[in-house]
Structure 1
Amino acid sequence: MKLPGRAARVALPGLLVGALLAGCGILSGGGATENMNMQDAADRADAMLDATIGAVVPEIQWTHHTWTSGSCTVTRRRKVMTIISEQRRGSFLGVIERFWQKSGYEITGVNKSKAMPAIFAKTSDGFQLTLSVGYKGQVVFKADTPCVEESEVAEPTTPPNGPAYPLGKIPTPNVRSDFWSAAAPLP
């Protein structure tokens, strides 16, 4: 009778280690991120953010926001400096959601809050994207990488299409757009 309990106690640590390694992609076997290091993942996250922001017409102004790296992941962020009016916010979120779906990303959640809506998406290889609207309507894009091989990570190389603010000094949206800042909803 004691053998099954003892076997479970002996096997459990191995199962937990296996689950943790699989969660970091180490045992996933053949995934797109298998041979990727943190810099590669950061570059891919930047490219996804570039493409997402590039899909917005008319163009919006943005700047780099804080980025972080952990033991095996990287998070890149960009703040939108263009004022997206409350009346145009739904259209803006719709542009992003349709672009992400067209890009093959799975929409994993939508926060339909009128004041602070958000959209969450995931790629087939574990990158996660977020668009969130925060204080004074500031739109923030975020890309989180899956766990990949540890490496050094450099600053993003894509130049913002407006001022490059020092970290901690990014103002609330202050760039007017005839289209995105308009007080009238789209017909």
Structure 2
Amino acid sequence: MFCGPLLGCAQDITSANGGEGTRMDMQEAAEREDKILDAVLEELRPSLSWAHGPTSTGACDVSRMRAVMTVVSAERRGNFLGVVERFWRKSEYRIKSVNKDVEFPAIYARTSDGFGVSLSFGGGGQAFFEADSPCVEKSGVAESTTPPNGPAYEGVYPLPRPNIRSAFWSAGAP
């Protein structure tokens, strides 16, 4: 643990660039979150269109979001959630909770190195993936370099509701 008067206590997470005793900073944590989010989105077949949601930072944490722009029908949500949950379990993430609400289902998990990851459905049936870091060293955070799989919507906030149809994900039959 690392403790400081302004940051509080932070977990000792080794950065990808450092060695023993080197702590991860916010930029490295954001890059780790991009990898976590990229991996789950690559697992979903057929592929989905998604856009970057906001990156947010706290006193010692950072989070990244991806908004799914493909319409995922109510009939396909169970399949969608199942693929994600199985992938996270296979990746040895600990499933913390599952919200089985019909309209706003969600899955919350934690990676072995302390990152939180979630899939949740919001208004209009829009799916959101989010990854949150544990407390890490304060640093600047650049925007993600992963290109979105669909329109970028740069400078657009809030993002529009899902507006891309898929023969599979948008289908009205399970």
Q: Which of the pair is proportionally richer in helix?
A: 1
More strand by proportion, 1 or 2?
A: 2
1:108 aligns with 2:105: no
Counterpart residue type for residue 45 of structure 1? E
Percent identity at matched positions?
53
Cα root mean square deviation, aligned: 1.4
Structure-2 separation of matches of 1:167 and 1:67: 14
In structure 1, what is the equivalent of residue 162 of structure 2? 173
Scaled by the length of structure 2, the TM-score of the pair is 0.88
CA deviation after TM superposition for structure 1 residue 60, in Å: 0.4
Q: Which moved more, 1:45-54 or 1:162-171?
A: 162-171
Q: Which of 90, 98, 108 is 1:120 aligned to?
A: 108
Q: 2: CA distance between counterparts of 1:132 and 1:56?
A: 15
Bigger mean CA deviation after superposition, 161-170 or 60-69:
161-170
1-structure distance, mates of 2:129, 2:158: 18
Q: What is the 5 A alignment of 1:78-157? A: 78-157=66-145
Instruction: Give the SS at the match of 1:86.
Output: coil
CA distance in 2: counterparts of 1:42 and 1:48, whole angstroms: 10
Alignment-derived partner of residue 160 in structure 1: 148
Q: Does 1:184 align with 2:166?
A: no
Structure 1: give runs of 5+ residues left out of the alignment.
Answer: 1-16
| Counterpart residue type for residue 171 of structure 1 | P
Shift of 1:167: 3.4
Counterpart residue number, 2:18: none
Which segments of 5 or more consecutive residues in structure 2 lack a partner in the other structure? 16-21
Residue 56 of structure 1 is matched in structure 2 by 44
Q: Distance in 2 between matches of 1:37 and 1:167?
A: 28
SS in 2 for 1:87: coil
- Residues 69-88 of structure 1 deviation map (CA, whole Å, 9 limit, x = unaligned): 11211010010000000000
Give, in angstroms, the shift of residue 38 of structure 1. 0.6
CA distance in 1, matches of 2:38, 2:82: 17
Question: Structure 1 residue 169: deviation in Å?
Answer: 4.3
| 1:178 alignment partner AA | A
Larger radius of gyration: 1
What is the TM-score with the length of structure 1 in the denominator?
Answer: 0.83
Q: CA deviation at 1:115?
A: 0.3
Offset, 1:32:
3.9
Distance 1:101 1:133 in 2: 20
Deviations 1:32-51 (A, max 9, x none): 46521110000000110000
Counterpart secondary structure, 1:115: coil
Structure 2: which amino acid aligns with 1:174?
Answer: N
Count of paired positions: 161
Residues 32 and 125 in structure 1, CA contact (< 8 A), matched pair in contact too: no
Q: Distance in 2 between matches of 1:167 and 1:74?
A: 21
Distance 2:139 2:159 in 1: 28
